[in-house]
Structure 1
Amino acid sequence: MAETITSMSAVPADSSFLFSVEDAFTNEREAILVPCEDDPGVEAWINDCPHEPQKLDRGMGAAMRDGEIICPKHGSMFDACEGGCSNGPAAGMSLLPVEVAVEDGDVVLVDDNYEFLQAGGLEDDDGPSSTSNIGF
């Protein structure tokens, strides 16, 4: 059964919509929806640069220019419709796809390898835990 991620109108025309999925091994991953000129008008990719562990969308939308997603670390540019990169350190690499479709104006997850978790990213807990009531 296809799960609704968001409406097509919620996908920014020049950036990305961040959402979270879980794979068959219960690994939680972030993914992004980006506008694409090809049908169905949107594509989804795992939110990682294949060159190095680096989020393309850090929670404020991925940088895009002329139909390409820009890696914020090294500037490699990935085709929003096909996921391939032809420049920079990621040249010859491709983003990992997440299959989506558009049904009645909604973007739905149709990839059997993933289960939709939520709109938005995963909560990162990079800081140390503390029971102190003092904030820094």
Structure 2
Amino acid sequence: MVATDDATQLTTVDELPENDSFLFTVLEHDGSKGEVILVNGGDCIAAWRNFCQHETDQRLDRGFGAAMRDGEIICPKHGSMFDACSGHCDNGEAKGSTLLSVDVAVEDGDIYLTDRTCDFLHEGGIEDDDDEDDGMPSSSSHLTF
């Protein structure tokens, strides 16, 4: 049973299709911000810190969904594949590593953030934080062609 007083509802199982992800930003207890991806691996709903274990500045979800196939999260830079349920990688540059988990719970089809090490800030990535600017990108590096 989820204590909804201590948990934040993120989305629902129906709104998170299999092999899909949901990106959100959290406030860490040290005051820093972090990104988390919530994934539906088919056999599980899990949440992971949004970076590859091989190269921590490489985001798995760059703002338009994590690449996923057959219950695995694919690093867009190295091609390493992480099991969506366990976070473990057995191939590529990140072989032998495991994604850092974030606690979530599913109750009555609703998905809640239950991790006590962070607090939900907003849907989307850190760059989507409306409090930091007027909504305009801070540089042209946000452009994709």
TM-score, structure 1 as length reference: 0.86
Q: Secondary structure at the match of 2:47?
A: strand
- 1:11, 1:91 → 2: CA distance? 27
The answer to whether the Cα contact below 8 Å between 1:99 and 1:109 also exists between their aligned partners in 2 is yes
The answer to whether the Cα contact below 8 Å between 2:19 and 2:42 also exists between their aligned partners in 1 is no
Per-residue CA deviation, residues 52-82 of structure 1 (Å, 9 max, x unaligned), is 1111011111111111100000100000000
Displaced runs of 4 or more, over 3 A: none
Partner residue of 1:51? Answer: 54
2:52 is aligned with what amino acid?
A: C
**Identity, % of aligned pairs?**
55
Please tell me the root mean square deviation across aligned C-alpha atoms, in Å.
Answer: 1.6
* 5+ long unaligned stretches in structure 2: 1-5, 129-136, 141-145
Q: Secondary structure at the match of 2:25?
A: strand
Q: State how many pairs are aligned.
A: 126
Partner residue of 1:98? Answer: 102
* 5+ long unaligned stretches in structure 1: 129-136
Equivalence map 1:1-136=2 (5 Å): 1-38=6-43, 41-52=44-55, 53-123=57-127, 127=139
